[in-house]
Structure 1
Amino acid sequence: MSPASETAGAPSARGLALHTRILIGFVVGVLAGVLCYRYAGSDSAWLNGVVTYVTQPVGQIFLRLLLMLVIPLLFSALVLGVAEMGDLRSLGRVGWKTLLYTVFVSAIAVVIGLVLVNLFQPGNGISETARAALLEESAAKAKSITAQAAPPSGIEMLVQIVPDNIVRAASGGDMIGIMFFALMFGIAMVLTPTPAVGRVKEFIQGIYDLSMTLIDRVIRLAPYAVACLLFTLTAKLGWQVLFLLGKYVGVVLLALALHQFVVYSAVVKFFGGMSPLRFFRSIEEAMLTAFSTASSSATLPTSLKVAEENLRLPPRISRFVLTVGATANQNGTALFEGVTVLFLAQFFGVELSIAQQLMVLGVCVLGGVGTAGVPAGSIPVIMMILAMVGVPPEGIGLILGVNHLLDMSRTTLNVTGDLAAAVVVSRGEAHETPAGEQAGGA
């Protein structure tokens, strides 16, 4: 587990965990903004001065710090996520089954999220006047992002997935091109097991570690940034923001519940040959650990224990699948990212076409592979996708305010998905293990 994961949810020197301080910043920002909206009015000169010269700049600096770290973090994480499947050469079909399962089930998770967001429209509800004002204020700041994010259409979009110049793609914010290059780079590392490539992997691991350390330091500023971002929004919109936020949380939790108890039950029964009731009873300990720690990596020892002792899966298979899955099989994270992007697009009145939503789906699936299995690891990925589809980044403060509850919930889904993958991949492999270690049947 990276150093960032050790500190992201740990108590500070003042005795308060980061998520608690973020929640305090959320409450302070909301209450102060609503009171100012109620008693001063959104047209107040002094209130506009506070927003223009204090809260907005602080929030913008925080967002720019996150955006600054997106490319090194996503490139290194995605390369390592693919390269860690180097055991594919020795495990053969086991590795490919794990990879195919991850992509397939992550895609289902994102589709569930996108369907529910389009069905319930949690981001709609503020007045057109307020939305127009928000867009007008954020237009100048998001102009460069939006200009780069406008996706091509048709066959041109397919062709441009492959970058002709990776340096130009990085400088121009072509995230799809960067992710494609990272995938190819990681696959090449798997196929080239030489000492020199091993040193390259160590170098990329160093970039990842440095990026995670910087992300950890930036996230420590989140309590102040969230207070400023929420003050800026609520001082202009009042209680409308809180109503929409409640709808958003409800949609995320509903999508997670559907994937947890419907999709995983079907996967375990039909592809793993195991009773869903037995499966969920056997993994209760891992689910509770995941919910309490909000970290797939921190839950890995418990997951390995329940896989071998309760589910009685072959250790050779479960250790590989669960270790890779702790970083590469993030179904809940992919779902959360898709819902969040569409929610913020609706909030700011940015219409996303079917092609753009499909692009979001694809990036979220890849993001599930390239997202760190630590608290708040998905925030940089969301920032990247927002930039790609031209959604102003100011609304991220809304998400950070309720992120810890959703992080605990989606981590539980991630860990459940890893164990479900171990059950599916183990089926048909049991004959290669000693008696008594075979995967359980229905």
Structure 2
Amino acid sequence: MSSNTAEERRKKAARTLQWQMLAGFVIGLTLGLATYMAAPDAAWVDQVTRYVTGPVGQIFLRLLFMLVIPLLVSALIVGIAEMGELRSLQRVGVRTLLYTLVVSGIAVVLSLLIVNLLRPGAGVDPADAQAMLANAGQGAQAILARGAETPSGMDAFLRIIPDNVIGAMADNDILAVMVFALFFGIGLVLVQTEQSRILLTAMEGLFEVTMRLIGIVIRLAPIAIACFMFNLAAQFGWDLLVRLSAYVGVVLLALGIQMFGVFSLLLLFLARRSPLRFFAAVQEATVMAFATASSNATLPTALRVAEDNLRLPRRISRFVLTIGATANQNGTAMFEGITVLFLAQFFHVDLSLTQQVMVMLVCILGGVGTAGVPAGSLPVVAMILGMVGVPPAGIGLVLGVDRFRDMCRTALNVTGDLVAATVIAAGEKDPPPAAT
């Protein structure tokens, strides 16, 4: 009885937090738009965003990211070690990889069809396009600088394997850290001794402590969200949102079809689950992803939802969701592809079908290495733009609406990870009982 009461309290608190986050979103957006219309050029607005609302939002994200590395490492190590044997690890790992490639392929093909059918960037006057680029170019410089530092080709492949895991953690190199955790988990599977079991218990303790700390930090989410939305609305208002409404509409249409069309079919035919019940069960994780715009920050919530609401085997949910936070990013791949093709249309750069397919393939691979943090995909977009002859500084044109799109595609990414975990778990012949 007491455990049921505690569970009810936890669910009630989660629902309350969701409403608080929604309230923070609406309040921040309303105050920001009012400020933009009443005092668009006032000096105090810049002071408020620079010294009050901006730092508050950054503190919230920094607290989350401070805990992400220990969470990723402990969750992946424990998830692999709990599989018990390499044969089980190999089966789940291969199926997860194949699933990710196939579903990401579906996502980018869908994006390619929609953006060519609706052509959101067509019809813009070239002079207006250049004027907008001149105004937005300064805001794109930091992103371009980050993109220039991103390794490519063989260097990018070699960087996945860390020569110093502490250095990889310090650099926030998520993929390299995950490779280390993967090998460490395999080592715990191979070494079945009393000492290795003690080490596994320590990793489980690290995971539980990190989850608890992140739960405390999440309580600050409503305030942080209000600050994020105030900054966005106060700085950009409705002008850029109206100019790019067609582009935003195409992105949301593609994400919506992937979310409620493709995912529903996967759940029905591969996982044998009701899509309506699934979406109702994962709404807490979806809302958290939408609010924070970070797959990594949402990982603790997604892990709890997978175990408590979906009743998935813990060994599978921890493995698939931890991998998916960086690798299985359908929303990011779709956003990158649509953005590149939109800006190509915007600047009257004609891309052949072969070039467009190449862009989409790069987006699939880029989605694997994109950091699961807000705006983590923008350097990849800038790199692809330069590759196909579109002015890379054009990325500045979409900065005004990136936060909202980032929130939407992150919601798709996290929901897609939960769909993947559900499908992979359904394919296991004799999965162990889910944690209670």
> What residue in structure 1 maps to residue 62 of structure 2?
64
Residues 264-275 of structure 1: pairs in structure 2 closer than 5 A: 267=270
Between the aligned partners of 1:350 and 1:79, the Cα distance in structure 2 is: 41
Q: Kindly state the Cα deviation for residue 54 of structure 1 after the two structures are TM-superposed.
A: 1.5
Between the aligned partners of 1:396 and 1:68, the Cα distance in structure 2 is: 24
Between the aligned partners of 2:215 and 2:329, the Cα distance in structure 1 is: 19
Q: Kindly state the Cα deviation for residue 254 of structure 1 after the two structures are TM-superposed.
A: 1.4
> What residue in structure 2 maps to residue 398 of structure 1?
404
Pick closer, same or farther for the CA change 1:172–1:390 going to 2, 3 Å: farther
Between the aligned partners of 2:331 and 2:306, the Cα distance in structure 1 is: 25
Pick closer, same or farther for the CA change 1:288–1:386 going to 2, 3 Å: closer
Instruction: Report the TM-score when normalising by structure 2.
Output: 0.66
Select the residue among 255, 260, 264 that pairs with 1:257.
Answer: 260
Pick closer, same or farther for the CA change 1:291–1:398 going to 2, 3 Å: same
Select the residue among 93, 96, 99 that pairs with 1:102.
Answer: 96
Give the letter for the 1:254 counterpart: I
Residues 26-175 of structure 1: pairs in structure 2 closer than 5 A: 26-41=25-40, 43-86=41-84, 88=85, 92=87, 96-116=90-110, 127-128=132-133, 131-132=136-137, 134-135=139-140, 139=142, 146=146, 150-175=149-174
Q: Kindly state the Cα deviation for residue 228 of structure 1 after the two structures are TM-superposed.
A: 1.0
Partner of 1:62, secondary structure, is helix
> What residue in structure 1 maps to residue 125 of structure 2?
none
Identity among equivalent positions (%) equals 26
Q: Kindly state the Cα deviation for residue 53 of structure 1 after the two structures are TM-superposed.
A: 2.0
Deviation per CA, 1:269-311: give whole Å up to 9, x if none: xxxxxxxxxx35xx5785365246656755657766xxxxxxx
Partner of 1:232, secondary structure, is helix
> What residue in structure 2 maps to residue 326 of structure 1?
317
Pick closer, same or farther for the CA change 1:303–1:211 going to 2, 3 Å: closer
Equivalenced residues, count: 364
Q: Structure 1: 5+ residue runs without aligned partners? A: 269-278, 305-320, 365-379, 430-442
Between the aligned partners of 1:130 and 1:344, the Cα distance in structure 2 is: 22
Give the letter for the 1:54 counterpart: V
Partner of 1:152, secondary structure, is coil
Between the aligned partners of 2:10 and 2:379, the Cα distance in structure 1 is: 27
Pick closer, same or farther for the CA change 1:241–1:292 going to 2, 3 Å: same
Q: Kindly state the Cα deviation for residue 388 of structure 1 after the two structures are TM-superposed.
A: 8.2
Pick closer, same or farther for the CA change 1:178–1:410 going to 2, 3 Å: closer
Deviation per CA, 1:359-411: give whole Å up to 9, x if none: 443347xxxxxxxxxxxxxxx9335955985999998863787699x47x965
> What residue in structure 1 maps to residue 21 of structure 2?
22
Instruction: Report the TM-score when normalising by structure 1.
Output: 0.65
Deviation per CA, 1:145-169: give whole Å up to 9, x if none: x38x833222222222211121222
Query: CA RMSD, aligned part only?
Result: 4.6
Pick closer, same or farther for the CA change 1:111–1:10 going to 2, 3 Å: farther
Residues 391-430 of structure 1: pairs in structure 2 closer than 5 A: 398=404, 406=411, 411=415, 417-418=420-421, 420-426=423-429
Residue 362 in structure 1 maps to residue 362 in structure 2:
no
Pick closer, same or farther for the CA change 1:353–1:395 going to 2, 3 Å: same
C-alpha contact 1:22 1:400 (8 A) present in aligned 2: no
C-alpha contact 2:32 2:231 (8 A) present in aligned 1: yes
Pick closer, same or farther for the CA change 1:183–1:168 going to 2, 3 Å: same
Q: Kindly state the Cα deviation for residue 335 of structure 1 after the two structures are TM-superposed.
A: 8.6
Give the letter for the 1:101 counterpart: R
C-alpha contact 2:104 2:330 (8 A) present in aligned 1: yes
Q: Kindly state the Cα deviation for residue 206 of structure 1 after the two structures are TM-superposed.
A: 1.8
Deviation per CA, 1:169-193: give whole Å up to 9, x if none: 2223332221111111111111112
Give the letter for the 1:290 counterpart: A
Give the letter for the 1:71 counterpart: I
Q: Structure 2: 5+ residue runs without aligned partners? A: 122-128, 286-301, 345-357, 383-395, 431-436
Q: Kindly state the Cα deviation for residue 350 of structure 1 after the two structures are TM-superposed.
A: 11
Pick closer, same or farther for the CA change 1:165–1:207 going to 2, 3 Å: same
Between the aligned partners of 1:117 and 1:100, the Cα distance in structure 2 is: 26
Give the letter for the 1:382 counterpart: V
